[in-house]
Amino acid sequence: AVQVEDDRTGLTPETLKRAFLDNLFYIQGKFPRLATQHDYYMALAYTVRDRLLQRWISTAAAYTEQGSRTVAYLSAEFLMGPQLGHNLVNLGIYDIVQQAVADLGLNLDELMEQEAEPGLGNGGLGRLAACYLDSMATLEVPSLGYGIRYEFGIFRQDIRNGQQVEVTDKWLRLGNPWELPRPEWAVDVKLGGHTEAYTDRSGRYRVRWIPYQVIKGVPYDMPIAGYRTNTCNTLRLWSAQAPEAFDFEIFNSGDYLGAVQDKLSSENLSKVLYPNDNISQGKRLRLAQQIFFVSCSLQDMLRILARQGLALSQFSQKFVIQLNDTHPAVTVAELMRLLMDEHGLSWDAAWDITQRSIAYTNHTLMPEALEKWPVDMFGQLLPRHLEIIYEINHRFLEQVRARFPDDSDRLRRLSLIDESGERYVRMAHLACVGSFSINGVAALHTELLKQDVLKDFYELYPEKFNSKTNGVTPRRFMVLSNPRQTEMLNRTIGDTWVSRLDELKRLEAKAEDPSFQHDWHMIKQANKGDLANYMAKQNGLVINPESLFDVQVKRIHEYKRQHLNVLHIITLYHRLKASPNLEVPPRTFIFGGKAAPGYHVAKLMIRLVNGVAEVINHDPAMRDRLKVVFLRNFNVRLAQRIYPAADLSEQISMAGKEASGTGNMKFALNGAVTIGTLDGANVEIRDEVGAENFFLFGLTAPEVYALKAQGYNPWDYYQGDPELKQALDSILVGTFSRGDGEVFKPLIDSLLNWDPYLLLADYQDYVACQERVGQAFCDRTHWTRMSILNVARMGLFSSDRSIQDYCRDVWRTPAVPIELTD
């Protein structure tokens, strides 16, 4: 018999080509003469999506039939990055598709460039959520990601005159082939208004909420394919719409323009991602976004529960809800409200379900990032939730009082309501009380939570606390982004490391092998050549690929201390000016990252990098010695270009401030050596790779506290170190601002008078450590060996390991293998 492959599922080159041209014609409505590169991208994306759909439907069918226990991962951010390449990798069809499009005279890289990346996150927290979705699908763990379909993701960053300019990210403009709207599963979310007590027919006290406004949430589903498994899970993102009924009333009252106006304000809810990282501003619209996606998601889960014929009492068996920080913490009150007010459960029954279903991950130690909402604002938007929170608090504080009699101070510290001045609802406290599990994202971070930020909760509920060190997906951050290193790893140890990253250990045997070292070095050089070409195009600079690529890419923040890096660059510059024969390797300092639009000091830090770049890159004496590059618009796509080309990874936050870091892991996995403080996951990275393969400097977290307690005076360091003084003075007199002595004054004043992140205290040790880095880099064999060993010892930092830990300790979700049905 003749075998005919289905055009929507077949994987042979001939079928793929036919499907591709078919989609170009019937979906894009174009033929090759008229088609743009973007049309071709869309045709290819639909071709890949068809192949995902088969898995997606089989997966949904299996979970429905088996009533599988499911992780509901609630996150205000999912920083997914481009989908096409990643899906090709996970489906195992990258090479064959590359060949198929080449046969049609097209270039896969160029097509992938056409995709607008879904940048629905700020930084670490959002990207972690995306890595976890990949790992859950790869490990065949039933999961649903729930979040917001922001119409505008994180802003695009332009650099004009050395300064950041924000441009709206219209990522949906040309359509999104990776989503399926599901209008039939839309739900209503109430906002504002007031509550009324009443007695129901059986004489029970009940509460009814009469909202001021109702908003419709429409789900859009994105497929999440596992790596070479049949599993295809779902990321369900909610888009806000005005409900039809609402329009209708106003239409009938004749206020046509008013109706259109109201529609706009409803749709504002999912309009834009808040671009703040690690700072909470207490904005009403942000709280509205939080309740919006939380309520939509919980209603969706209750619908799924009912459709599977399960009782409400089985909610916590069917679902485990993971809160990605406190952004979805209102889940605690909303689940209580749904169970009691909409489904008639008693308080005790509802509380039992709620508190068995929810687990909370904390991602930050920054006090200004801890979310708290003015009680008035909260009550105006969510009157019923405020009542429920008061009741939770009342019962909670009763328990505390029983455990710790006569400790009113403790009650004040633990209360869900901050009453020290203006009254606030403390979202971290709500999350802690309402969950069965509380975790930090690295060993040190969890310890600091227990000793400091959540100390009182730890004393109350030690059994709830656990640590889950973050991880990153090797599919995106190695297989897709670094094909050269991937090929070499496959050639050396086979290709099973992709889903069993600890197998990289087997590389250790090769670390001393000269021919292996040579090949390893050549790969890094080729990757650096690619990035050098990119920098030539973007920044108009000629970069020597032999120079040490010293890279710091991450959000711009004072605690991350990009300006400490700059102080080192200026010091090196001064040294080279004073002693032109100084023996240091040529270096290229590479920066990238966005500053929150309202964070003036962070924006000044960007300006400073660019100011220093302008001077150094134009100084003929620095040619072939130093270059400074600020790469605009750091995003997932750019990250994938940068990590493979890095020699040195800058992880230099003040100890005790970076909860984990995940960029640190991506760099090391790609063979960069770290210079870093003992902060976040750096501690564990150093333990794994060995102290001799890691450049450590700086105060430890306990030393930071001790120094601050004893009274820190940055001025002493300024006066006591001539090189430091020279560096700061040169900024102050305008050397890096075309003679303008005002521009950087706020930045330098803050360092000299306050220096909350102890740059001046860590400066000397950092510069000394950088000298050792330079010397080590000059010994190529030694450096290459360190690079190989860093990769070989990165197994622990796969997000697969993190997810296995969550499954075992928190979620108790068995894997559900999927069989393909057609």
Cβ neighbours for 567, distance < 8 A, ≥ 6 positions apart: 724, 727, 728, 759, 763, 766, 767
Nearest residue to ligand 26W, by Cβ distance, number only:
124
Could you give the CA distance from residue 613 to residue 702 in angstroms, rounded to a whole number?
35
Question: Which residue of 371, 647, 650, 684 would you call a contact of ligand 26W, by CB under 6 A?
Answer: 371
Residue 682 binds ligand 26W, judged by CB under 6 A: no
DSSP-assigned states of every residue in 387-410 = HHHHHHHHHHHHHHHHHSTT-HHH
> 649-686: buried (b, 16+ CB within 10 Å) or exposed (e) per residue?
bbbbbbbbbbbbbbbbbbbbbbbbbbbbbbbbbbbbbb
SS3 state at 308? coil
Residue 131 binds ligand 26W, judged by CB under 6 A: no
| Cβ closest to ligand 26W, residue 371 vs residue 762 | 371
Residue 437 binds ligand 26W, judged by CB under 6 A: no
What is the smallest separation between the CB atom of 363 and ligand 26W, expressed in angstroms?
4
What is the smallest separation between the CB atom of 369 and ligand 26W, expressed in angstroms?
4
Question: Which residue of 74, 659, 675, 773 would you call a contact of ligand 26W, by CB under 6 A?
Answer: 659
Residues near ligand 26W (CB under 6 A), total: 23
The answer to whether 237 and 78 are in contact (CB under 8 A) is: yes
| Cβ closest to ligand 26W, residue 553 vs residue 572 | 553
Which residue in the list 138, 662, 674, 735 is annotated as catalytic?
Answer: 662
Phi, psi of 457 (to 5 degrees): -70, -35
| Cβ closest to ligand 26W, residue 100 vs residue 287 | 287
Which residue in the list 30, 560, 632, 657 is annotated as catalytic?
Answer: 560
What is the smallest separation between the CB atom of 808 and ligand 26W, expressed in angstroms?
19
Could you give the CA distance from residue 218 to residue 185 in angstroms, rounded to a whole number?
7
Q: Which of residues 589-608 bind ligand 26W (CB under 6 A)?
A: none
Angle at 193 between CA 190 and CA 195, to 5 degrees: 95
Question: Which residue of 269, 369, 535, 761 would you call a contact of ligand 26W, by CB under 6 A?
Answer: 369
3-state secondary structure 668-706: HHCCCEEEECCCCCHHHHHHHHCHHHCEECCCCHHHHHH
The answer to whether 182 and 221 are in contact (CB under 8 A) is: yes
Q: What is the CA radius of gyration of the chain?
A: 27
Residue 470 binds ligand 26W, judged by CB under 6 A: yes
What is the smallest separation between the CB atom of 274 and ligand 26W, expressed in angstroms?
7
User: Which region, judged by CB under 6 A, interacts with ligand 26W, from 163-171, 364-372, 665-673, 696-704?
Assistant: 364-372
Q: Which of residues 269-328 bind ligand 26W (CB under 6 A)?
A: 276-280, 325
| Cβ closest to ligand 26W, residue 122 vs residue 790 | 122
Could you give the CA distance from residue 383 to residue 60 in angstroms, rounded to a whole number?
37
The owner of tokens 């999961």 is 143
DSSP-assigned states of every residue in 560-613 = GTHHHHHHHHHHHHHHHHH-TT-----EEEEEE----TT-HHHHHHHHHHHHHH
Question: Which residue of 125, 136, 323, 417 would you call a contact of ligand 26W, by CB under 6 A?
Answer: 125
What is the smallest separation between the CB atom of 554 and ligand 26W, expressed in angstroms?
9
Residues in the chain: 822
User: Which region, judged by CB under 6 A, interacts with ligand 26W, from 124-132, 304-312, 394-402, 802-810?
Assistant: 124-132
Residue 617 binds ligand 26W, judged by CB under 6 A: no
Could you give the CA distance from residue 429 to residue 400 in angstroms, rounded to a whole number?
13
Which residue in the list 55, 327, 337, 554 is annotated as catalytic?
Answer: 554
Which residue in the list 55, 464, 632, 666 is annotated as catalytic?
Answer: 666
What is the smallest separation between the CB atom of 125 and ligand 26W, expressed in angstroms?
3
- CA 105 and chain centroid, separation: 36
Residue 680 binds ligand 26W, judged by CB under 6 A: yes
H-helix or E-strand containing 466? Answer: strand 465-467
Phi, psi of 551 (to 5 degrees): -120, 130
Residue 21 binds ligand 26W, judged by CB under 6 A: no
560 in catalytic set: yes
Residue 660 binds ligand 26W, judged by CB under 6 A: yes
Phi, psi of 220 (to 5 degrees): -120, 125
Which residue in the list 127, 363, 524, 594 is annotated as catalytic?
Answer: 363
Cβ neighbours for 473, distance < 8 A, ≥ 6 positions apart: 131, 134, 135, 798, 799, 800
662 in catalytic set: yes
What is the smallest separation between the CB atom of 757 and ligand 26W, expressed in angstroms?
14
User: Which region, judged by CB under 6 A, interacts with ligand 26W, from 28-36, 119-127, 394-402, 694-702?
Assistant: 119-127
Residue 658 binds ligand 26W, judged by CB under 6 A: yes
Q: Which residues are catalytic?
A: 363, 554-555, 560, 662, 666
What residues line the site for ligand 26W (CB under 6 A)? 122-125, 128, 276-280, 325, 363-364, 369, 371, 441, 470, 658-662, 680
